[in-house]
Amino acid sequence: MEGALCKPHGEEKDGLPEISLRPLELADVDDFMVWATDDRVTRFCSWDSCTYASKDDGLKYIEDTVIPHPWFRGICLNNRPIGAISVKPYSGNDSCRGELGYVLASEYWGRGIATQAVKMVVLSIFKDWPHLERLEALVDTENLGSQRVLEKVGFMKEGVLRKYVIQKGSTRDMVIYPSSLALAQD
């Protein structure tokens, strides 16, 4: 499948479940709804758990946003999406950068799955997009789990962007974590 980063599905290696990354499809809507409607998952996301209140809302999002996105993949266990990861390209004078984002169903937290997925993206995105020199993630200062994921993969905390975004009606501070082509080659 084009755009897939394949590994053996579901087998354990070093005590961690093996995952794969692949483009999401409309048929994945039920799995998407599991994490997209979970309050624990959406706490630090730009959407609320009620944003995708129906299966039709989920289908519309996958069709209108996910499928046309230049780099949006499901984080899959046994080929079933348990989360998603994306790289949003910047344009113009910022085209040397991209922004990493990811989400994982709460029942899979703490198993090293998000760390594996981020590692897979870092190892491939600089090859997929040769113009990219910097991959960055913006993480809410209170989202310690996501900060740990990025640090395990080699992202370095660059600083805190104060009052950087408005999420769910509240101004939030964000930590910026960059990775570069040089780090990906280490």
Q: What is the mean pLDDT of the chain?
A: 89
- Whether residue 95 lies inside any domain: the answer is yes
- Whether residue 67 lies inside any domain: the answer is yes
- Whether residue 103 lies inside any domain: the answer is yes
Model confidence at 10: pLDDT above 60: no
Q: Residue 116 sits in a domain of what CATH number?
A: 3.40.630.30
Domain count along the chain: 1
Model confidence at 69: pLDDT above 90: yes
Q: What percent of the chain has pLDDT over 90?
A: 77
Q: What is the mean pLDDT of residues 114-130?
A: 96
Model confidence at 11: pLDDT above 60: no
pLDDT at 168: 86
Which structural domain, as residue segments, surrounds residue 63?
A: 12-133
pLDDT at 65: 95
Cα 186 from Cα 182, distance rounded (Å): 7
Model confidence at 15: pLDDT above 80: no
Tell me the DSSP string of 88-132. EEP-GGGTTEEEEEEEE-GGGTTSSHHHHHHHHHHHHHHHH-TT-
- Whether residue 2 lies inside any domain: the answer is no
pTM of the shown model: 0.88
- Whether residue 96 lies inside any domain: the answer is yes
- Whether residue 93 lies inside any domain: the answer is yes
Cα 7 from Cα 16, distance rounded (Å): 13
The more confidently predicted of residues 65 and 53 is: 65
Model confidence at 4: pLDDT above 80: no
- Whether residue 167 lies inside any domain: the answer is no
- Whether residue 158 lies inside any domain: the answer is no
DSSP 8-state assignment for residue 46: S
1 — pLDDT class (breaks 50, 70, 90):
very low
Of the chain, the end-to-end C-alpha distance in Å amounts to: 28
